Amino acid sequence: MSRSVWAPDSLAFSLLRALGQSFILTATLGRLWCTLYIGGRKNATLVTEGPYSVTRNPLYLFSIIGAAGAGLAFGSLVAALVLGGVSFLQLRHTAQREERLLAGRFGGAYAAYARRVPLLWPRLAAYREAEAPRFHPRVLARALRDALLFLLVLPVAEMIDYARATGLLPRLLPLL
C-alpha cells in the first residue's frame, strides 16, 4: 500500500485531502446537473444548453474531476495525476467514438455545435441556459446513485488512513 510523503497531520496533506473532497463533491453535483439536461434523452436529442453549452461531454469532464479528486482524497498528487490522466485518456477516446455516432445522427446541427463547443475542456463564456429544462425522475435517481459512488471514496480514504496510522496497513511506497 502506498502512503503520502506528507505526514497525516501536515498542512500539505490536509490541503490535498480538502481539495480532493472538493473535487469529489464537484463531480457528484456536476454529474447530477448534467443529468437534469440529458437524462433520458441521450443520443435521441441534441442537448446544447446548460452544461452542454460549455463542453460537449460534461459528464465525462466531471468524471475526470472526480477521479483526480479520489487521488487527492488519499493525499497523493501522483495518484490524482494517474487516476485523472487515465480517466481523461479513456473518456476522451470514448467521446471521440461517440462523436461519430452523433455526427451521423444529427448531421449539420451537430457539426455546428462541435465547432462552437469544445469536446472536453469547458469554455465558460459560451454558457447558455435552457428556458425550461425537463428531467425524468427515474433517470435522475439512477444518476444520483452512480454519482454517490464518488462520495464513497471519502470514508474509504479515512478508513485507510486510520489503518495506516494504527499499523494495520503497511506503508510500502511513498507518493507525493
Q: Average pLDDT of 102-111?
A: 94
Q: Which residues pair with 3 in a beta bridge?
A: 174
Task: Identify whether the C-beta of residue 54 lies closer than 8 Å to the C-beta of residue 129.
Answer: no
The cell for 134 is 425537463
Residue with cell 488519499: 74
H-type alpha helices, 3-152: 11-38, 58-73, 77-116, 137-151
The cell for 37 is 439536461
The cell for 12 is 500539505
14, pLDDT greater than 70: yes
Interatomic CA distance for residues 21 and 59, integer angstroms: 18
pLDDT in tens, 120-150: 999 999 899 877 666 667 777 777 777 777 7
Among candidate residues 162, 158, 154, the one with its CA nearest the CA of residue 70: 154
For 57, list phi and psi in degrees, rounded to 5: -135, 60
The cell for 83 is 487516476
Range with the poorest average pLDDT among 1-15, 42-56, 151-165: 1-15
Residue with cell 482524497: 73
Give the whole-number percent of the chain exceeding pLDDT 90: 47
pLDDT in tens, 142-176: 777 777 777 788 788 778 777 777 777 766 555 54
Angle between helices 11-38 and 153-165 (to 10 degrees): 160
Interatomic CA distance for residues 39 and 33, integer angstroms: 10
What was the pLDDT predicted at 7? 66
